[in-house]
A and B are shown apart, each in its own frame.
Chain A
């Protein structure tokens, strides 16, 4: 079921194939070298949904920043469809951990940011309205970010990313701040959009269940410096059910890998 969906997606290939090869990265913190990523290799097929799990501070956000092209990697190769990633590109859009909306722009103008920056806004204004409708915030188009709740702001950030029709959607705990009801709705929305548009998705999350509900594959990272500890393929179609024994079993495995076997 998943495979057929992915096959049809691959024909139009709206997704982007990502290759991470032997990637290492370090920061300098008060004069000390702080290794954050250690020889990370990962291939993500076009149209695949990959979830990254790992302890806090292990380097997941750093990996996403490198993939986005916001910083050059110390060592290793990053290829998007075979082309080296050297700078940010609107085909690879990030939804950051914080919504970081521009407080001086109304919600509508925040969502329109990418199209405006690329000089496409004049011909694509309808897309902004659609993206706002998708996240259920059409009513708040004229509001300022300060007038939104935390969850609403995060939904605006999601709309701001989706409106660019990215080929790789990079999600850094985008649902972390949402209440559980909105979160379930947004998870459903992400899956629907992904199935419809066929982008490649890279999702960092702290929520094992979320990873299992959304992803084709889950990558578990070790503590800092992050190395890949395990890879699990989730062979289940959508929609998935959180009480599926197969998923519950995987969840137990992953929690074990994260050193949390007891808390299950």
Chain B
């Protein structure tokens, strides 16, 4: 019985390598079908610009998939990468077609509020300088705030975890100030700080600082005491104990704090940009909504989703690098 099962699993492994290029070809076909639908099904409500452009994008993707199928027969690495994407590559054009149908082709969704995909494409082509500029401003603001928050949070966490007297003074501050949603301090900070930009940096830093501090602290205080004993009998100084024992041992916790802090910083960033700083993606979103430019809003949202996801991925990459010694760490 068990031998039969073994044979079956062996076969399924074999077929999955064969299925790869089949799935890829199906995906390419679906993308081509989407392009056909976009071109030949007449637009219902109005003549959208970039309809042909959107179809071209679909055809380009189909061509890339076919290329991947061909190259994948020679390159095992590429084949393994694309294999996991296969199902999504089929689902995406279907979802895109549905979106296209409900908005541009059938007009079932009310027009100004729901933009068809080609409208987004139009925004990217027409308004990219402003979008790029907004993205840059957001990046600078977020980068400054998160850097300040992460560095001070890490330092504070290590200090509280290590020194009783520093803990005595910092702990109440952490307990009172930390849990306050930093956006609640926004009105206060806008008149306390010389500029709305510096106020926003402070708030983003605060949002990052709290989880980083708490988790660094918890990481440092949960270090196995035996690690210190070993180092002490081998002649380690306090400095060595902090930098070579406590901090490396606490690093997995620190990264959890950084993930939470980064997440909190995104929402603070957007609110700060909407309320005070007159630039950045948050401000662009609000501006687009004010002018009823919903396509612009969706376009900006999509960029923002990709940017935030990219930042989290980057943090995971750094973590995988630094914590390579950990077994079976979560994969992003």
Q: Which A residues fall within an 8 A CB radius of B?
A: 65, 68-70, 88-90, 92-94, 96, 98, 100, 102-106, 113-114, 116-118, 144, 146, 160, 164
Q: Is B84 interfacial (CB-CB < 8 Å)? A: no
Q: Is B193 interfacial (CB-CB < 8 Å)? A: no
Give Cα A105 to B231, complex, Å. 13
* Selected contact of B233 from candidates A68, A98, A146, CB within 8 Å: A68
Q: Which B residues fall within an 8 A CB radius of A?
A: 224, 226-227, 229-237, 240, 244-245, 248-249, 251, 323, 325-327
* Selected contact of B235 from candidates A90, A103, A144, CB within 8 Å: A90
List of A residues within 8 angstroms of B244 by Cβ = 116-117
Give Cα A65 to B323, complex, Å. 32
List of A residues within 8 angstroms of B248 by Cβ = 102, 104-105
A22 to chain B, nearest CB (A): 24
Q: Contacts A104-B249, A116-B244, A144-B325: A70 and B232 contacting too (C-beta < 8 A)?
A: yes
Q: Are A89 and B235 in contact (CB under 8 A)?
A: yes
List of A residues within 8 angstroms of B236 by Cβ = 117
Give Cα A117 to B243, complex, Å. 11
* Selected contact of B237 from candidates A96, A117, A164, CB within 8 Å: A117
List of B residues within 8 angstroms of A88 by Cβ = 232-233, 235
A86 to chain B, nearest CB (A): 13
Q: Are B227 and A100 in contact (CB under 8 A)?
A: yes
Give Cα A89 to B233, complex, Å. 6
Q: Are A114 and B234 in contact (CB under 8 A)?
A: yes
In this complex, what residue of A is CB-closest to B236? A117
Give Cα A105 to B327, complex, Å. 13
Give Cα A160 to B230, complex, Å. 10
List of B residues within 8 angstroms of A114 by Cβ = 234-235
* Selected contact of A104 from candidates B224, B229, B251, CB within 8 Å: B251
Q: Are B224 and A118 in contact (CB under 8 A)?
A: no
B218 to chain A, nearest CB (A): 18
Q: Are A100 and B224 in contact (CB under 8 A)?
A: yes
Q: Are B235 and A117 in contact (CB under 8 A)?
A: yes
Cross-chain pairs A/B with CB under 8 angstroms, 29 sampled: A65-B229, A70-B233, A88-B232, A88-B233, A89-B233, A90-B234, A93-B233, A94-B229, A96-B230, A100-B224, A100-B227, A100-B229, A100-B230, A102-B230, A102-B248, A103-B325, A104-B325, A105-B248, A105-B325, A113-B230, A113-B234, A116-B244, A117-B231, A117-B237, A117-B244, A118-B234, A118-B235, A146-B325, A164-B235
List of B residues within 8 angstroms of A164 by Cβ = 234-235
List of A residues within 8 angstroms of B227 by Cβ = 100, 102
Give Cα A105 to B245, complex, Å. 10
Give Cα A246 to B231, complex, Å. 41
10 further interface pairs, Cβ-Cβ under 8 Å (given A88-B232, A89-B233): A70-B229, A70-B232, A92-B233, A93-B234, A96-B226, A104-B251, A114-B235, A116-B240, A117-B237, A117-B244
Q: Are B226 and A90 in contact (CB under 8 A)?
A: no
In this complex, what residue of B is CB-closest to A93? B233
Q: Contacts A98-B226, A100-B224, A102-B248: A117 and B234 contacting too (C-beta < 8 A)?
A: yes
